[in-house]
Every structure is written in C-alpha cells, then in structure tokens.
Structure 1
Amino acid sequence: MRKNSHNDEELLEQIQLNRDAAAFTTLYERYWEKLLTLAYIRLQSSADAQEVVQEVFLDIWKRAGNISLEYSFHTYISAALKYKILTLLAKRKAEQAKSSLIVQDEADASTEQWLSYQQLRQELEQTVQTLPEKCRLVFRLSREKGMSEKQIARTLNISIKTVEAHISKALKTLRTSLHHLHTFFLW
C-alpha cells in the first residue's frame, strides 16, 4: 500500500511503531514547504526558516515514541513550529540585548577614558601655570610648538643652556606635581 494514501495520524503511528522512514518522508514532503513558508514569513530569513523546520522534523523523528496527539497531526506540527520560532526569536532578542550591553560598556569605558584624559590635561595645565613666566614660555615652545632648543634660544634670544635649564625645571616640577598619575601611566 502506498504511503501517500495514509492520513497523517496513520503515518505517525507507523513511525512510532516501526521507525518507518518512508512514512516519515511522506509527512516531511507533505509539510516541509508549508512550514518553511510560515517560518519565513515570521523570521524573514531563509536560513533561519530552514533551520527551525529541520529542527521540527528532527524532533518528530527523535521523539516519535513520546508524541501523543490531542488533536490532529497538522495541529501538532503547527504548534511545534510555532514554539521553535518563538525559541529562536527569544534567543535573538537575548543576543541583541547582550550585544547592546557590550556596546554600552564600551561606550562607558570610552567616556571614562575621555574624562580621565580631560582631568589629566587640566592638572597638567594647572601645573604649567605655576611655573615662572620664562620657564613656562620655554616649556610651551618646546612641548606645544615642537620647537628645538636651538630654535627656542634664537627666538627668545637666550643661550641653549638656559633653555635646557628651563625645560629641566619644568619637567621636574611636572613630575613632582603629577607623581600620583604615575600609576595611571603604568596601568
């Protein structure tokens, strides 16, 4: 007798009793395309739709002995698909939530780094402001304008040794004033 002439419930019974692959194939061929279409409409992804439909049929094959139909096989397989889709959508939502938390954590870390940098710049500027005027000018020309010691000496009409002394004094003052930031730079 041909399997196509059997109804769904008879085919399921053959799978349950005999692990009948031909009966399973018949059910698969009857429902595959319908289920795939329904899954695609809900998931908007061919790959995800195929995956959930495959899982539905795999579960039917694995759990055939434990399946007890309260209504029709059609109702059973439709509900099974619905639950697989809901499970996948919940998984997606959880992954999106996790992903947005990671992005938020990165944004928080970036903001924290920016604030630390701003604080460092502010402390540096305050310390530079405490330097004597000539020393501060030499330091700014050296570090902010990128001028060489020779260029600074020529611009300010002072000796290179004086320029070196001012830079040394400025750096020593900065090191002393900002020593608490030493661990910041090591970290």
Structure 2
Amino acid sequence: MTRADSASEEDDFAGPAQLGVPPGPVPFTGWSQEWQVTYTAFHADVYKKYLTVAYLQLGSDADAEEAVDATFDVLADKWGQMLRMDSLRGYAWTVLKRRILDQVRRRTRRGNWMEMAAFQTANVGPDDPFDLLTMRMAAFEEIRRLPERQRDVVALCHCLDYTTEEAADLMGVEAATVRSHLSQARRRLAARLGEDADDDTTNPGEKK
C-alpha cells in the first residue's frame, strides 16, 4: 500500500512506514515494545469499526478496505507522535475521514450511505414502504447538508446504532460532545423538514 495520496501535512514525521515497515497488528522492526503493544491494541479495537464506517459511506467492500488500510498506513507512520497527542483517537478519526474522502474522489462518486440506509429502513415498518422511502430519502438528503461532526454522530448513532459512549470513543471526543451534536442535528433537521424537534438526547443504540 503506497501513501502517495496522503495529505502533505501528514508526511512530516519519519516513522516506520516510511522505512518500509508494513502496517498491521504485528510487531514492527525497530519499534519499541510500547509502540508495538499500543498500536496492536488500537488496531484490534477499531479496525472492524472503521471498516463498517467506511463501507457505510462508500458502499463497497474493496473501497472500504482500501480507505481503512490507507488510514492505518498514516497511523503506523505517525504512531510515535500520536502517543504524545491529547486525543489519539480524535486524530485517527480525522485521518479516516480524509482517506474516505480521498477514496470518494478517486472513484469520482459520492458516498451512497444515505441511500443505502434509506432502503434498509424502508424494508421494515409500515404498510406503504414507498411512502416511508420517500420520507427517509428526504431526511437523508438533509443529513448530507449537516456540518461534518453532526453528520458523523447521526451516521454512527442512527445508522449504525452506536450508543453515545461508543460513538464518542470511536471519534475521540467526550460523550457530552456527541449528545450536543445529536441535539443540534435533530433541531436542524426538524426545522428543515417541518417537524417537531425531539429533545430526547438518547439514540437508537441506547434504546435497544
């Protein structure tokens, strides 16, 4: 996996990947034990979650895997520096979002996760799935227009059924921040769709 598409600001730290060490949940030649243990644990914790998020936005197993592998190319290359960051997970989430965007641009198409979620929702529920689909498509189109952080928490909490705490952990932010973004997103969507805003700050993942 090359790093030719990585953003220039991510190329200023000389790390193992630049020395030809492949990324992955295995010990790296030249890495300290701390680097190996922490990177392996992080990879094991988030890799499948990152794949799910990438697939939701790209609609392709191959594209999702390429985006996530490219993400870990960057993370492996900067791991030593990341261990000194205040929010390692927040930085990793930012890198993932950039790599997904890179993948969308390379494939010259928009992510189709909204359409996928709409059709999946329409497969269950009321007697008239066409009416539900129409309603959901309108809602998901409005979700596209939300600020990025609000769009992220809606995708995680409503499309993937993450709890507030799970979404916060994956994004590298506080649970209160996720709840705030959800509340703001719901108010924006209610105003745009002409509906009453729901003040309930829980999400589907917490109501199961």
Higher helix fraction: Structure 1 or Structure 2?
Answer: 1
Structure ranking higher on relative contact order (CA contacts 8 Å, 6+ apart): 2
Same fold? TM cut 0.5: no
Query: What TM-score, normalized to structure 2?
Result: 0.34
Query: What TM-score, normalized to structure 1?
Result: 0.37
